Amino acid sequence: MTAGEIDADELVASKVWDHSLFQRLLEFVHPHKRLFAACFTVLSLLFAAELLGTWIWRGVLDGPVLAAQEATDKGPYLHELYGWVGGYVALLAGMTVLRYHETALLNRTGQAVVHDLRVRVFQHIQRLDLRFFDGRPTGALVTRVTSDIENLSELFTSGVIVLVFDVIKVIVLLAYLFFLDVNLAWVTVLTVPLLIGVSLAFRGGARTAHREVRARLARLNGYLQEVLSGVRVVQVFRREERVSARFRDALDQYFQANKRTIFLFALFFPAMSLAVYIVQGAALWVGVKAITGQTLTYGQFFQYWLVLTMLVRPIRDLGERYNILQSAFASAERIFQVLDTRGRVHEAQHPRVPPRTSRPPHIRFEDVRFEYVPGTPVLKGVTFDIPPGRTVAVVGATGAGKSTLVNLLLRFYDVDAGRITLDGIDVREMALSELRGRFGLVLQEGFLFAGSVRDNLVMERAEVDDDALAEALATANAADLVERLEGGLEARVAERGATFSTGERQLLAIARALAGRPDLVVLDEATAAVDSATEARIEAATRRLLTGRSALVIAHRLSTIRDADEILVMHLGEIRERGTHDELLARGGLYARLHALQFEEAEVA
């Protein structure tokens, strides 16, 4: 992360409590009500047990111990003591078990909520249209699903539940003190705000100081990284000294930022203990007076002391909880930002499902204009037809707009102007999944999907039964590929597709497309070179794929181009030339030159 990114992330939410965000988070809490209830139960029981423990101490000190002071026969008092201790030990045993559950349950609750949230965010992002992904580095999106979510889990574990409970604890304990002894209670209530004040006052400074340190550190490490990548330049230019001096400066800044943080912390701990001493001192004053005045027993004061210890802990942690909450809400805000994003490619209000006839569809691009980035048009008014059953091949240099045609046809993006029709129906009016399902699709990228070979070929299409699959494999010249695998169709495919070579993957991709018995094909030919034997098989399979179907092909193979019914030569977003292979060659224009370049070269190499 660069320093800039860190700063931005930290600055998103300066609120420690965002009610609207919290409401939305509650939605995810709902399904796990029982877990939350369990957490509260455990925490309550622990609290009650701790309080009970302090009461036992008072019972012992004011009971057998006090009475035994003047007595001669210690026996009965010792017995009473054993009774108390027995009870205490039982209580402690119970508390130990409860403490285990406290940690385990809180953690489990947080993780449960977070899992749901994570899956939801993933699903949401996945279905957004491609434009969302443009201009957003993949890394940033991944963070939403990983570290931002993890941050949120803290909210639910050491954050909200514990914080709420801490507040309840403090209130209950203070109230209890009034039952114990009114004077002590008052003195405590008056001095405890000092403690709270120190805890909260420090918190703000600490965050700023930490942020500063992190930013300086990021800068430092960034410079280090930079110098390492350019070390050759540094050495050849003999700039070692200069670069070291720069590093020293950055180090110094980092050190200064650290000093500020250390100063704050060095101040915080003594300040807290001083505040605690003040509370204790005041209590001592009042307590001793009361003890000597016989209005307070020793045992009562002892119990008070123990309750005070219980009180101080949550207050000391207040500052830290505050920070956790803030950082968690920042993450929540980022996450909900994503969840609130809507795609631009919308499903039509009343999607139409054009019936499949015996005739392959007629595709038309009508004066289509499109730009990925405003101001940089990629398609500048493209018009062409794919008559039923015909193959249209598109060629052209990189950046000419070829793949954009595919993107628009598949509705990964919508056109800026003009329209694309399928049998006269605008593709925007069709159900998205219907549209995409209509295509026999062969994209350049190979397999992505883990699973069996069958899964990859069938792709959960209900209409692809075993016969259709077998037929497709045969037509695509890919049947033997599957047969030679152990397990055949049920064999697992390595996720990166390492089970098959590049060429073989292309054949399987064709089989996959064929399995759906499409009448429409989009083929984006891979440019990777394959051995001539596989090449021949791919050529044949491609030919069979395209026969009798309407097809848009981004072609790189000479054979594919030659066989196409029409070739569109694209250049900088426009169709420069069109015609059959022979017609274009005869014309001796752009196509002829491209042809010579690409295919003569291939022969030479």
Footprint on residues 9-68 left by another protein (CB under 8 A): 53, 56-57, 60-61, 64-66, 68
Residue 502 interacts with another protein (CB under 8 A): yes or no: no
Tokens of 450: 């883990």
Residue 449 interacts with another protein (CB under 8 A): yes or no: yes
CB under 8 A: which stretch of 164-172, 357-365, 399-407, 475-483 binds another protein? 399-407
Instruction: Pick the closest to residue 458 from 437, 432, 487, 481 (CA basis).
Output: 437
Instruction: Pick the closest to residue 530 from 446, 441, 406, 439 (CA basis).
Output: 446
Among 11, 231, 528, 536, binds another protein (CB under 8 A): 231
CB of 194 or CB of 443, closer to another protein: 443
Name all contacts of 123-130 with Cβ < 8 Å and 24+ positions apart.
Answer: 124/338, 124/339, 124/341, 125/338, 127/343, 128/341, 128/343, 129/343, 129/344, 129/345, 129/412, 129/413, 130/407, 130/412, 130/413
Among 114, 160, 279, 523, binds another protein (CB under 8 A): 114
Closest distance between another protein and the C-beta of residue 536, in Å? 25
**How many Cβ atoms from other residues are within 10 Å of residue 175's Cβ?**
11
- Give the x/- contact pattern for another protein in 541-570, rule: CB under 8 A: ------------------------------
Please report, as residue ranges, which positions from 321 to 340 form the binding site for another protein (by CB under 8 A).
Answer: none
CA 309 centroid distance within chain: 41
Written as one letter, the residue type at 29 is V
CB of 90 or CB of 182, closer to another protein: 90
Please report, as residue ranges, which positions from 245 to 274 form the binding site for another protein (by CB under 8 A).
Answer: 247-248, 251-252, 254-255, 258-259, 262-263, 265-267, 269-271, 273-274
Query: CA distances (Å), 557 to each of 83, 568, 595, in order?
Result: 93, 14, 11
Length of the chain: 605
CB under 8 A: which stretch of 351-359, 381-389, 393-401, 531-539 binds another protein? 393-401
Q: Are 360 and 519 contacting, i.e. CB atoms less than 8 angstroms apart?
A: yes
Give the β-pairing of 492-493 and 451-452: antiparallel
Q: Are 390 and 568 contacting, i.e. CB atoms less than 8 angstroms apart?
A: no
Please report, as residue ranges, which positions from 411 to 440 form the binding site for another protein (by CB under 8 A).
Answer: 412, 433, 436-437
CB of 76 or CB of 548, closer to another protein: 76
Please report, as residue ranges, which positions from 75 to 94 form the binding site for another protein (by CB under 8 A).
Answer: 77-78, 81-82, 84-85, 88-89, 92
Among 8, 11, 31, 134, binds another protein (CB under 8 A): 134
CB of 347 or CB of 483, closer to another protein: 347
Please report, as residue ranges, which positions from 283 to 312 form the binding site for another protein (by CB under 8 A).
Answer: 284-285, 287-289, 291-293, 298, 301-302, 305-306, 309
Q: Are 503 and 509 contacting, i.e. CB atoms less than 8 angstroms apart?
A: no
Residue with tokens 């000092």: 194
Q: How many chain residues bind another protein (CB under 8 A)?
A: 148
Full DSSP string of 359-390: SPP-EEEEEEEEEEETTEEEEEEEEEEE-TT-
